[in-house]
Amino acid sequence: MCPAAYFFVVTDASVASWLNNSLVFWLNIVGSLTFCTFNKENKFSLSASNEIHRLCPYDKGAIIWYDNCLLKYSNKNFLGQIDNENLFSLLNVQNVSDPTIFNQKTRELLSQLATEASVTTKKYAAGHIELGESTNVYGLAQCTWDLSSNDCFQCLEDAIGQLPSCCDGKEGGRVVGGSCNIRYEIYPFLSS
């Protein structure tokens, strides 16, 4: 797949409009997928299609990540399969004062959210856990709609398993993949 890992602001056009405008390109595609965070009504931008065509004009497969959305296509059928190939992490560079307890509580929260997300039709869960009087950890766990409950849970658990190598003792972190993603922060990062 074309190595495209870019972040953009999601704006106006709907997924349906985007698909209709890209029909000629998509005639040779076997699998395509989009998903966005469900914290509010999201619309997917036509710019994602334009950007992925610009970055990967002759590729038969590509993936692009926005802040809270993903677009992926391929000439191979990938639907219903965990994508372990397209994975990266991001972190907040600030360290926490007590990494042992923080990491334990963060894993506890994300594991709970992974369980919740895997059994819902939206394949999404968000929540928080208290660390002390005035400190919380906020988290989100999300899978693409095509995964089974078991595969969603496995994908999220695999992502959580990446945290010690990328985000150990950090105030925030993300593991983002082609089938699922997790995120935690010490501040609320989702809109109501």
Supply the pLDDT for residue 184.
97
Least confident range of 49-53, 90-94, 106-110, 128-132:
49-53
Residue closest to 114 by CA, chosen among 188, 179, 192 = 179
Tokens of 32: 């395509």
User: Mean pLDDT across the stretch 107-115?
Assistant: 98
Mean pLDDT within 98-103: 94
Q: Is the pTM of the predicted complex or chain greater than 0.85?
A: no
Q: What is the pLDDT of residue 180?
A: 92
State the pLDDT confidence band at 188, using cuts at 50, 70 and 90.
Answer: very high
pLDDT class of 44 with cuts at 50, 70, 90:
low
Query: In the structure, what pLDDT confidence band is assigned to residue 187 with cuts at 50, 70 and 90?
Result: very high
**Strand bridging mode 61-65 / 69-74:** antiparallel
Residues in a beta bridge with 174? 90, 183
**Neighbour count for residue 35 (Cβ, 10 Å):** 24
The pLDDT score that the predictor gives to residue 31 is 52
Is the pLDDT assigned to residue 94 strictly greater than 60?
A: yes
β-bridge pairing 124-130 and 136-143: antiparallel
> What is the reported pLDDT for 175?
94
Q: What is the mean pLDDT of residues 147-168?
A: 96
* Lowest model confidence (mean pLDDT) among 7-11, 28-32, 163-167, 177-181: 7-11
Domain boundaries in the chain? 15-74, 87-185
Could you tell me the CATH superfamily of domain 87-185?
Gnk2 domain, C-X8-C-X2-C motif (3.30.430.20)
**What pLDDT score was predicted for residue 128?**
96
* Residue partners of 44: CB distance under 8 A and separation at least 6: 10, 13, 14, 15, 18, 34, 36, 69, 71
